[in-house]
């Protein structure tokens, strides 16, 4: 994928998620080609909280066809901002104890 093609699909991903869920994307955290499809993972602020470490972050998977048309999407997870969900982080914290 060229740099221009990459930038274009990122714009399409951000616009699509905003239209679909009515919220601004925080970031496109993954973009990959699978055959003639492009798979994107996007983080979205689902709910603000105080303190902000308790904000709820949704992760959405969007699938696009070869002409960048949206084929489907779904929310794959929801987490608190402070939760990394990484086993490596949990293992490192256990070693500190």
Question: What would the pLDDT profile of 28-51 be if each residue is shown by its tens digit?
Answer: 999 999 999 999 999 999 998 888
For 81, what's the count of Cα atoms within 13 Å in the CB-facing half-sphere?
14
Q: Which two tokens stand for residue 28?
A: 């496109």
Q: How confident is the model at residue 92 (pLDDT cuts 50, 70, 90)?
A: very low
Q: The pTM is what?
A: 0.80
φ and ψ of 18, to 5 deg: -60, -40
CA 57 – CA 60 distance, rounded (Å): 10
Question: Could you give the percent of the chain with pLDDT greater than 70?
Answer: 86
Q: Which two tokens stand for residue 31?
A: 């973009």
Domains in the chain: ranges and CATH:
3-96 (3.10.450)
Q: Residue 39 class from Cβ within 10 Å (0-12 exposed, 13-18 middle, 19+ buried)?
A: middle
């Amino acid at each position: 994928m060229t740099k221009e093609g990459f930038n274009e699909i990122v714009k399409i991903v951000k616009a699509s998620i905003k239209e679909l869920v009515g919220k601004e994307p925080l970031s496109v955290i993954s973009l990959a080609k699978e055959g003639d499809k492009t798979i994107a993972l996007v983080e979205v602020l689902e709910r603000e909280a105080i303190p902000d470490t308790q904000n709820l972050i949704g992760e959405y998977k969007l699938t696009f066809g070869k002409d960048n048309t949206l084929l489907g999407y779904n929310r794959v997870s929801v987490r608190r901002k402070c939760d990394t969900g990484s086993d490596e982080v949990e293992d490192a914290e256990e070693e500190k104890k």
